[in-house]
Structure 1
Amino acid sequence: MKKQLIDVVFASDKRKNVLLLLKDGPEKMEDLLNSLETSRQALLPQIRILEEHNLVADSNDVYGLTTIGKLVVEEMVPLLEKVRVFDNNIEFWGTHNLKSIPRHLLERIGEIGDCGVVEPGFASMFEINKNFVEQALNSDEIFLVTTFMHPSYPSLLARFLEKGSKVAMIISEDLFRKLKEEWYEEFRSFVDSENLKFYVYSNDLILTSLAIADNCFILRLLLKDKEFSNIQLICNSPEAHRWGRDLFDYYLQDSVPVTRI
């Protein structure tokens, strides 16, 4: 009696890994054995199961995906990438409000790869992440989304501009009003800067902050009950940067540029 296809694919790490190894093209048995660090005797029964279920075909000891196998693997890869992202930081994803991330980017969450979570202690919970600042100071472009104005932001923005970086910053309507009332002179000087562009998000901004530099981003979300959280998700890779930029652009499309105050 044949197994259910879902069991064939996921119930055995060897079968799953063979399918993933073949996604880029056929492989010799010897190469499969080396990649999986296993013996022919251990692997062959698993490959036979893949063949019996029309996922893999053999030609002179070279194995490749069938048409069905290719279709299955095309769906496997993004699923496994998503599971890996959530599994690495399940406490973060499970306790925070994900409504601030649009559906199409949640579908692509696997692209951010292996991220880290930092929870600053009480003494440093309001400090800016120093590692991010170092990367940002060496970045050509910096993208920010925020609902609050940290006391260090004006001096930090000035440093970015001195370095020649271009900065785009999306702020909430509440923060826009606060800046005009309490930071008027600093805000006006930044608005007049050619390399710093402010935008006001026209809807309810339900993420705490997003900061993007070259090849990295830091994301802070509200908790599920919409309470503040100081936990930071930090991702470092070109793929993560692209995903972060797409999240920034999602908010940018509903934002209005600030040209004067």
Structure 2
Amino acid sequence: MKAELISTVFLSEKRKQTLLMLMDGPATVDEIKESLTGTTSAIMAQVKILFEQGLIEQKEDEYRLTSIGKLIMKKIRPLIETLNVVEANKDFWDSRNLDPIPEFLLDRIGDLGDILIHEPDLNHLFEPPKELLTSLHETKNVCTFYSYFCPTCPNNYSELARKEVNYNLILTRPVYERLRDEYKEQHDAMMNSKNSHMYICDDESMKLGALSVTDDLMLIAFFNKDGFFDHKKVISFEESARNWGQDLFQYYKERSERVK
């Protein structure tokens, strides 16, 4: 039976998507049809299988998960979400060093949802993605971590400070010292802003490239497994990804020292 239930969930994209949809609440036949592609007969054939396996039930004109369906999907949904994130960009994830991500957040990697991989050309190698720049222009809250020096970032940081955006910035000590010594005006603008807070992270084990979380975007960059930074970045606009990014930032913040 266990193998049969696993097959029921995973061997049909329509069945899988129907179960995921019903996790959010009951749905009518028409609502199920609208959310899936295919003919009515093909969709209803898969709904019938879910019904026969005891994963869904019908009450009046709505389908809903049974107690067993809820129990199974509560466990399976994180796996499905993780597979969706990894399978779409498997070569990218295979090449990343994920050690800087604590285990409790690796378990939630599916929270990243729909992602895009930003890979700049040589003419824009050291510039932040346009998606991030657009978001920084409009956001009211920003959390950022950098372990490398981005030449355009001091001006971006200081502009946020002058706009009194709620801004938390974590830098490794070498990056912070370069900001302080070579970009004094921008550094002082951040230090003088009541809404800007800077932190120094000395933990060498936290070898993450970059992280930014705004009101509508999460960006993260990893070193590859050879220890090189190739400027590839993951971007997601989903709320679950932003929450994941906030939790990761908080993890780093708790291991950093505030600059006073």
Please confirm whether the aligned pair reaches a TM-score higher than 0.5, indicating the same fold: yes
Asked if 1 retains the 8 angstrom alpha-carbon contact of 2:164 and 2:194, the reply is no
In 1: Cα distance, 2:62 partner to 2:140 partner: 47
In 2: Cα distance, 1:26 partner to 1:166 partner: 39
**Alpha-carbon RMSD:** 2.7
From the superposition, tell whether residues 166 and 54 of structure 1 become closer, same or farther in structure 2 (CA, over 3 Å).
Answer: closer
Deviation sequence 1:178-233 (CA, Å, 0-9, x none): 44555567545543443321111131130111122221122111001211221111
Count, aligned residues: 258
From the superposition, tell whether residues 238 and 65 of structure 1 become closer, same or farther in structure 2 (CA, over 3 Å).
Answer: closer
1:139 maps to 2:139: yes
Counterpart of 2:69? Answer: 69
Counterpart of 1:243? Answer: 244
From the superposition, tell whether residues 64 and 194 of structure 1 become closer, same or farther in structure 2 (CA, over 3 Å).
Answer: closer
Write out aligned runs for 1:184-223 (5 A): 187-188=187-188, 190-204=190-204, 205-223=206-224
From the superposition, tell whether residues 217 and 38 of structure 1 become closer, same or farther in structure 2 (CA, over 3 Å).
Answer: same
Write out aligned runs for 1:1-261 (5 A): 4-29=4-29, 31-33=31-33, 35-36=35-36, 37-40=38-41, 42-43=42-43, 45-58=45-58, 62-179=62-179, 182-183=182-183, 187-188=187-188, 190-204=190-204, 205-259=206-260
Unpaired stretches in structure 1, ≥5 consecutive residues: none
Which structure has the bigger radius of gyration? 1
Deviation at 1:89, TM superposition (A): 2.3
User: Which one-letter code corresponds to 1:128 in the other structure?
Assistant: P
In 1: Cα distance, 2:62 partner to 2:166 partner: 52
In 2: Cα distance, 1:213 partner to 1:61 partner: 41
Equivalent position SS for 1:84: helix
From the superposition, tell whether residues 174 and 2 of structure 1 become closer, same or farther in structure 2 (CA, over 3 Å).
Answer: closer
Deviation at 1:5, TM superposition (A): 1.5
Asked if 2 retains the 8 angstrom alpha-carbon contact of 1:206 and 1:222, the reply is yes
From the superposition, tell whether residues 100 and 52 of structure 1 become closer, same or farther in structure 2 (CA, over 3 Å).
Answer: same
In 2: Cα distance, 1:139 partner to 1:31 partner: 35
From the superposition, tell whether residues 198 and 9 of structure 1 become closer, same or farther in structure 2 (CA, over 3 Å).
Answer: same
Runs of 4+ deviating beyond 6 Å: none
Deviation at 1:176, TM superposition (A): 3.5
Deviation sequence 1:142-170 (CA, Å, 0-9, x none): 21111123232332222212222122111
Equivalent position SS for 1:87: helix
Unpaired stretches in structure 2, ≥5 consecutive residues: none
In 2: Cα distance, 1:27 partner to 1:131 partner: 35
